[in-house]
């Protein structure tokens, strides 16, 4: 995946900021760079992306798993619906 798409992906997560104010307590957040890399890696492994297309639900599942595990959150599909849609558009362009 090219760097421009990665930066756009990070910008969506940064705008969303699922951590809320807890973001200030994480010294190595780096605009969600590690989490974006983990999400992309999981998409490649689980869904053979970008060779095969993905659905918003598949993308949401990965986002939820990665962010919940990384930050001990309890995100749901409805929490990330709008952001998954935005990220999916970036990935498909």
11: which 2 tokens? 């910008």
**pLDDT band, very low/low/confident/very high, at 5 (cuts 50, 70, 90):** very high
Q: Indicate the pTM of the whole model.
A: 0.92
Strands annotated E in 1-93: none
Stated as kind and residue range, the H or E segment containing 77 is: helix 77-92
55 CB contacts (<8 Å, ≥6 apart)? none
Q: From the options 3.30.530, 3.30.590, 3.30.420, 1.10.340, give the CATH code of 3-92.
A: 1.10.340
32: which 2 tokens? 């969600």
Distance CA 77, CA 49 (A): 20
Chain segment 48-73, per-residue pLDDT in tens: 999 999 999 999 999 999 999 999 99
Extents of the domains making up the chain? 3-92
Q: Are 60 and 18 in contact (CB under 8 A)?
A: no
């Amino acid at each position: 995946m090219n760097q421009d798409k990665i930066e756009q992906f990070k910008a969506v997560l940064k705008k969303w900021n699922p951590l809320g104010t807890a973001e200030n307590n994480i010294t190595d957040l780096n605009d969600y760079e590690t989490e974006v890399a983990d999400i992309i890696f999981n998409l490649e492994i689980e869904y053979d992306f970008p060779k095969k297309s993905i659905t918003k639900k598949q993308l949401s599942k990965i986002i939820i798993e990665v962010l919940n595990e990384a930050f001990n959150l309890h995100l749901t599909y409805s929490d990330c619906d709008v952001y998954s849609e935005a990220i999916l558009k970036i990935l498909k362009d």
